[in-house]
Amino acid sequence: MSLDRPLTRNVRADKSPTDMAAYEANGGYQGLRAAMGKLSPGDCLQIIKDSNLRGRGGAGFPTGMKWSFVPMENVSTGHKYLICNADEMEPGAFKDRLLLECDPHQLIEGMILSAYTIQADVAYIFIRAEYLLAADLLRQAIADCHAKGYLGKNILGSDFSLEMHVHPSAGRYICGEETALISALEGKRANPRAKPPFPQVSGLWGRPTIVNNVETLCNIHHIIERGADWFQSLGLTEDAGTKMYGVSGRVKNPGCWELPIGTPIREILENYAGGMEDGYKMRGFLPGGGSTDFLVEEHLDLAMDYDTIGKAGSRMGTGTMIILDDKTCPVGFVKNLVEFFAQESCGFCTPCRDGLPWSAQVLDDLERGRGRPEDLETLARQVSFIGAMGNTHCALAPGAMEPLASGLKYFRDDFERHISEGGCSFHTGGVS
């Protein structure tokens, strides 16, 4: 069990946190002890590359490849940074919270090894403001690590040193975007930055920086300890490892589970989430959080991995699904999301700053019975205006258009009915 569910092996039924003693008792920091002194940073990098670990923050970028862009020579002057992205503000996402609150040491051990691999000397955990418990646990865990010699100067007698700090955010979804996060960590307005240059060469305070998601980093020490082949063997499809999957909405048992990557969607929905609540039928779902495209009934048997979901026209994103049921208005659903993104736009680039409120305004008109036939055309125009990568400065706005674009495709009738019937006939949010 512990071998095929590495991320949650310390997660207890009551969700109480695992402290240093319990973590070590279950084999914690053995990977770190084994690696320090035996493996070179280059060895570690090779293992991560071989493992085919893909970033769990949403984009699924191969972690080893990302790390390999960090300059390793001639960077003696100045710091290199590792940042854990624990901002988790995507609507519908709640997987990192579980990892943070139940097993903070797993993240820290992963971060120490990651920092070692890229030879970072300072690490930050950028955590969303509301995760107060997790932030406290992490601070305690960091202090405990210092006491044990896992953090600080010359870790476990090696010549590798690392300081780690917890930085709670002050709000704003855009802080999760890695370059905006860097701006926020620098104490500035969280405007994203243009790439190139990539953070790997010019990131926090202009220095080489790696940003990884909580779940990504939680995998690291397991992979280094048990090897790339073991990790590859965990996945059911091409993708390697396990994945934290979650389901929210009108299902019987909403929640979050670690499953082999590539587990079929239907299995997650039925075996783990318990199927739809009585009296509700599923109309569609966002597979990976609020910025992913709708999938529908016909996609239920697909494997939940990066490429399969991508081919189906959506993204695996965070792996946390949001279910649209038959008593919820799809137009309202999309409107809620678009309003969220409009409000969370940093305000830097025009299509996002002004285009999203414009889309939200049209959707609001539809909901309030002020829709006009040409509005669907306006929305489609907005999708192509805002929705393509490169049209905007960062990926927030294109993500925001995904539920709208796919909503227009799968639930066009509902949109049209809002216009022809002069408003919304759903009573979303009725208490069951």
Partner 1 sequence: MPVIHIDGQEYEVEAGQNILQACLSLGLDLPYFCWHPAMGSIGACRQCAVVQYLNPEDNRGRIVMGCMTPVMDGAIFSLNGDKASEFRRTIVESLMLNHPHDCPVCAEGGECHLQDMTVMVGHRDRQYRGKKNTHRNQYLGPLIHHEMNRCITCYRCTRFYNDYAGGTDLAAMAAHDHTYFGRHEEGVLQSEFAGNLVEVCPTGVFTDKSLMKGYTRKWDLQSAPSVCTGCAVGCNTLPGERYGKLKRVHNRFNAEVNGYFLCDRGRFGAAFVNSEKSLEYPGLRGEDGRFNALDHHSALMHMVHACHAEEGKNKVAGIGSPRASVEANYLLRLLVGAENFAPGFSDREQPLIELALALQQDSPALIPDIQTIESADAILILGEDLTNTAPRIALALRQSVRNKAYELAAELRLEAWQDAAIRNLAQDQRSPLFIASVADSRLDDIAEDRVALAPDDIARLGFAVAKLIGGENISELEPELQARAQAIATALQNAQRPLIISGTGCGNAAVMQAAAQIAQALCQAHNRAMLALAVPEANSLGQAMLTGPGAQSLAQLSKRAAAGKLDTLIILENDLYRRGPKASIDALLANVANVIVLDTLDNATLSASSLALPAASFAESEGTLVSMEGRAQRYYPVFVPRQERRASWIWLLAVMKESEREEVSELHSFDDITRACASDIPALSGITGAAPDAHFRNAGLKIPRQTHRYSGRTAMRADVSVHEPKQPVDEESPLAFSMEGLNRSQPGSLLPFVWAPGWNSNQSLHKFQSEVGGHLKGGTAGARLLLPATGTSASTATQPDATLAPSAPQQPGQWQMVPRYKIFGSDELSVHSPAIAELVDPGFIEISSDDARALGVNDGEGLVLNKPDNASQGELLTIAVATLEVRLNDSIAVGCAGYSVGLAGTEDIIAADKLVLSKADNWKRHKPQIIGSDGGGSTGGDHV
Partner 2 sequence: MSELIPALSEAEIAAIDAELSHVPVPAGAAIDALKIVQAHRGWISDESLNAIAKHLGMSAAELDGIATFYTLIFRRPVGEKVILLCNSVTCWMKGCDALQQTITEQLGIGMGETTTDNKYTLLPMTCLGACDKAPVMMVGDDLHEEITAQSLQALFSNAGSGGET
- Among ligand SF4, ligand FMN, partner 2, none, residue 10 binds (CB under 5-8 Å by kind): none
Return the residue of 80, 250, 393, 418 that touches ligand SF4, per CB under 6 A.
393
Cβ 107 vs Cβ 218: under 8 Å? yes
Residue 147 to residue 407: CA distance in whole angstroms: 53
CA angle 293-299-303, nearest 5°? Answer: 95
- Kindly provide the residue ranges of all beta strands, DSSP E only, lying in 300-408, ordered along the sequence: 320-325
CB 386 within 8 A of CB 355: yes
Q: Kindly state the smallest distance separating residue 344's Cβ from partner 2, in Å.
A: 7
Q: φ, ψ for residue 81 (rounded to 5)?
A: -125, 145
Segment interacting with partner 1, rule: CB under 8 A, options 17-25, 119-127, 200-208, 308-316? 200-208
* Residue 279 binds partner 1, judged by CB under 8 A: no
Count other Cβ atoms within 10 Å, centred on residue 162: 22
- 352 part of the interface to ligand SF4, by CB under 6 A: yes
Nearer to partner 2, 156 or 296 (CB): 296
Out of 11, 155, 265, 396, the residue judged to bind ligand FMN by CB under 6 A: 396
Q: How many residues bind partner 1 (CB under 8 A)?
A: 38
Residue 370, token pair as written in the block: 């002020």
Site string for ligand SF4, 363-392 (x = CB under 6 A): -----------------------------x
Distances, alpha carbon 98 to alpha carbons 95, 143, 201, 342, in Å? 5, 21, 32, 28
Q: What does the per-residue mask of binding to ligand FMN show for 85-124, with x meaning CB under 6 A?
A: x-xxxx----------------------------------
Site string for partner 1, 322-361 (x = CB under 8 A): --------------------xxxxxxxxxx-xxxxxx--x
In order, the DSSP letters of 76-128 are -SS--EEEEEE---STT--HHHHHHHH-HHHHHHHHHHHHHHHT-SEEEEEE-
Which residues partner with 167 through β-bridges?
Answer: 126
Q: How many residues make contact with ligand SF4 (CB under 6 A)? A: 14
Could you say which of ligand SF4, partner 1, partner 2, none residue 241 binds, taking C-beta under 5 to 8 angstroms by partner kind? none
Regarding 281 and contact with partner 2 (CB under 8 A), the answer is no
Site membership for partner 2, residue 55 (CB under 8 A):
no
One of 157, 187, 373, 390 touching partner 1 (CB under 8 A): 390
Q: Residue 243: beta bridge partners?
A: 259
The pattern of x and - marking residues 240 through 259 that bind partner 2 according to CB under 8 A reads ------xxxxx---xxx---
| Among partner 2, partner 1, ligand FMN, none, partner that 92 touches (CB below 5 to 8 angstroms by kind) | partner 2
Please count the other Cβ atoms lying within 10 Å of the Cβ belonging to residue 205: 13
> Judged by CB under 8 A, which stretch of 88-96, 105-113, 140-148, 365-373 contacts partner 2?
88-96
* Cα separation, 102 vs 106, whole angstroms: 9
CB 321 within 8 A of CB 281: no
Query: Is there binding between residue 11 and ligand FMN (CB under 6 A)?
Result: no
Name which of residues 170 to 209 contact ligand SF4 (CB under 6 A). 174, 192
Could you give the CA distance from residue 109 to residue 415 in angstroms, rounded to a whole number?
Answer: 49
Single-letter amino acid code for the residue at 280: Y
d(CA 159, CA 175): 33
Take residue 321 and report the two structure tokens written for it.
């699904």
Interacting partner of 96 out of partner 2, ligand SF4, partner 1, none (Cβ under 5 to 8 A depending on kind): partner 2
d(CA 256, CA 320): 8
Structure token digits, residue 145? 């690590």
- 364 close to 335: Cβ distance less than 8 angstroms: yes
Binder of residue 358, out of partner 2, partner 1, ligand FMN, none (CB less than 5 to 8 A by kind):
partner 1
How many residues would you count in the chain?
432
Q: Looking at the DSSP assignment, which residues form a beta bridge with residue 82?
A: 123, 210
User: Which of 22, 59, 129, 201 touches partner 1 (CB under 8 A)?
Assistant: 201
Residue 265 structure tokens: 């969607």
Minimum CB separation of residue 174 from ligand SF4 in Å reads 5
Positions touching ligand FMN (CB under 6 A) are 55-59, 61, 63, 66, 85, 87-90, 174, 176-178, 211-213, 216, 394-396, 399
Positions touching partner 2 (CB under 8 A) are 79, 88-94, 96-97, 128-132, 163, 165, 167-173, 184-190, 205, 246-250, 254-256, 290, 320, 322, 324-325, 328, 332-333, 336-337, 340, 343-344, 346, 428-431
Positions touching ligand SF4 (CB under 6 A) are 174, 192, 345-349, 352-353, 392-394, 396-397
